[in-house]
Amino acid sequence: MKKTTVKINGSEYRLPVYSHAALVVGSGAAGLNCADLLYTYGVTDTALVTEGFNMGTSRNTGSDKQTYYKLTLSGGDPDSVRGMAETLFEGGCMHGDLALCEAAGSAGAFFRLCGLGVPFPYNEYGEYAGYKTDHDPRARATSCGPLTSHYMTDALSKTVRAKGLPIYDGYRVISVLKNGAGEAAGVLAVSTAEADSEANPLGLCLMLCSRLVWATGGPSAIYAATVYPESQTCAHGAAFVAGAEGVNLSESQYGIASVKFRWNLSGTYQQVVPRYISTDETGGDVKEFLADCPSFNSPGDLFTSIFLKGYQWPFDPRRAVEGSSRIDMAVFAERIAGRRVFIDFTRNPAGFDLSLLSEEAYTYLEKSSALFGTPIERLAKMNTPAIELYASHGIDLYTEPLEIDVCAQHNNGGLGVNTDYESTTLPRFFAVGECAGVFGIRRPGGSALNSTQVSSNRAARRIAADSPSAPDGADFTLPALPYVRLPIAGDETEIIKKLLTKRLEYGRRMTKCGAFIRNLPEIKAAIAQVRGELEGFAAEPENVCAGSRSLVELSINYDILLTQLVYLSAIAGYIEGGGLSRGSYLVNGSPECDEVHSGEVICARLDPDTLSVELHTDAVRPIPDSEQWFETVYNRFLGRE
């Protein structure tokens, strides 16, 4: 470790400098896999940087039966790499070459996880049996239960730690460094471990590298109603400021989730047909609001829609008039009216009769031996781990209703990448996992987990092929950081409380206008408000810090605003270009869905000096006709052609 003096906003800081060949930011399934494979492929001078080793989405989220999507590996039904690529591509707004990479890498990535001990189920002959998930024409899905991604991070953590890779735990990355050639050259981070009362009171440090991997997850903190764990805050803003382009930022998924303990309420949680109730703010005035909703044609229609919410879980405007997404609309209406909404497993909905269910729903419960009792009794029969999961977080589904909302769950867009998952606009910067803008309008359930492994593998291979070494010079520039200034004297705990209150205000604004219900005038008003807050951020009396802990929270707030600005600009651009409802959101209250723009990708790039966002569209690239003749592939692989 060296030390160097840098000047930020007129003040000098004496900062420690670390240097590695490759730096991976993030400790979820994508970051861990990339760090591990970099070492395996020969880049042994790889370090992992994380705000908190156990804080990410991969370790802390799931559903009733969290899905992993991969090539079919059992039975006699035909499947192929090309077929899986076509399924991904047909979701709309997805580049064909990326779809082919995601499909081609799926089997290898899956078997690597099996080899690391992730307990995917197989039969007595070793076949990994599958099931159909949403937007899936084959039975490609598999699962380890509610905690699939948690098992993945556990297994990957063990192999990373066994290799002895340096892990900078408790380091919040706030800025991307660039060299004179405009390439990613490292990061500026803040950590209480680096705080020095005189030379470095804010706990800043520099981490230089030849290749930088961004594995920071989705834009988790920009919404108030979100199923992302509270511990994950993401870092898209720093990437945008550095010059990384965003793609398909308008395309996110939203679904019903619990809010006390953030968890997706899909699958069995809905298929047992629980009771939906709302109350006033104090918990009084209980009513079953769905029964009064005129969009349901009959009690049987209502009960079947609740059941279908299980595997039609994300909100879909195509189901907002006749299908299961009427439930999301009704939940939203109650929330807008200032009421709290709950799912109650202790009692059946009023007037419930199993015979009123559709044939599909009735047969499903019949095959599951669950044609009896209350929702909690049916859930205990069908999926006991789904009950145990909540019990492990102090919630007893036998006695306690779950407070819910329609929450942001996943961003199908993200940072623009090529087939090596290197940024299309920022050289030597790689984006892997959810922060990579790989998917478009729709995607099969579980394909995001597959992407964490495929993207990180391809990035690691590309980086290793370049044989990078740790930089030994000081060729880097810092972008402007208007909020970084010497700490004030004050109660840091009180400062943090004010910053968190401000963060909640930011999130409520985004949830109101930029989530699954979108209205262009409100979005444009929000853009102006966000830009104004960014312009005045440094002058705002509440935006101060008294040390490294409050600087972390301050940097997160600034990053949230930057991310909201770019995302809202992309959403507004899509609507202004004639875009209609699609994917998982409703535009201007109309269920009419877009059938025109699925062949293009919206790209967004931030100008950090003017806080303007430049938008353009690219035509989606088709699935390439890849070389299949073995001798040709073999010789190219050996480097002879």
Identity of residue 214: W
**SS3 per residue for 202-261:** CCEEEEEEEEEEECCCCCCCCCCCECCCCCCCCCHHHHHHHCCCEECCCCEEEEEEECCC
Which regions of the chain carry the CATH code 1.20.58?
492-594
Q: What is the pLDDT of residues 178-199, one digit of tens each?
A: 999 999 999 999 999 999 877 8
- Whether the pLDDT of residue 202 is over 80: the answer is yes
Averaged pLDDT score across all residues of the chain: 95
Instruction: Tell which residue, 458, 477, 467, 468, has the closest CA to residue 417.
Output: 458
Strands (E), 65-224: 67-69, 141-143, 167-169, 172-178, 184-190, 204-214
Mean pLDDT over 547-574 rounds to: 97
Residues 6+ apart with CB under 8 A from 87: 135, 136, 137, 138, 444
Q: How far apart are CA 498 and CA 376, in angstroms?
A: 40
Asked if pLDDT for residue 283 goes beyond 80, the answer is yes
Structure tokens at 172: 């919040």
Element at 409 (helix H, strand E): strand 402-411
The CATH number for 492-594, chosen from 1.10.730, 3.40.630, 1.20.58, 3.10.20, is 1.20.58
pLDDT digits (tens, 9 = 90+) for 309-330: 998 889 999 999 999 999 999 9
pLDDT one-digit tens code per residue, 591-641:
999 989 999 999 999 999 999 999 999 999 999 999 999 999 999 999 876
Three-point CA angle 528, 532, 533, nearest 5°: 120
Kindly state the percentage of the chain with pLDDT values over 70: 100
Q: What is the pLDDT of residues 360-394, one digit of tens each?
A: 999 999 999 999 999 999 999 999 999 999 999 99
The Cα 301–Cα 171 span in angstroms is 51
| pTM (global) more than 0.85 | yes
Spatial distance between the Cα atoms of 169 and 166, rounded to a whole number of angstroms: 9
DSSP 626: -
Kindly compute the dihedral angle of the four CA atoms of residues 207, 209, 212, 217, in this order, to the nearest 10 degrees. -20
Provide the 3-class DSSP secondary structure of residue 126: coil
2 C-beta neighbours (distance < 10 Å), count: 12
pLDDT at 506: 97
The whole-angstrom distance between residue 617's C-alpha and the CA centroid of its chain comes to: 23
Task: Give the pLDDT confidence of 398-439 residue by residue, as tens digits.
Answer: 999 999 999 999 999 999 999 999 999 999 999 999 999 999
* Residue range 324-356, pLDDT digits in tens: 999 999 999 999 999 999 999 999 999 999 999
* CA distance linking residue 82 with residue 71, whole number of Å: 10
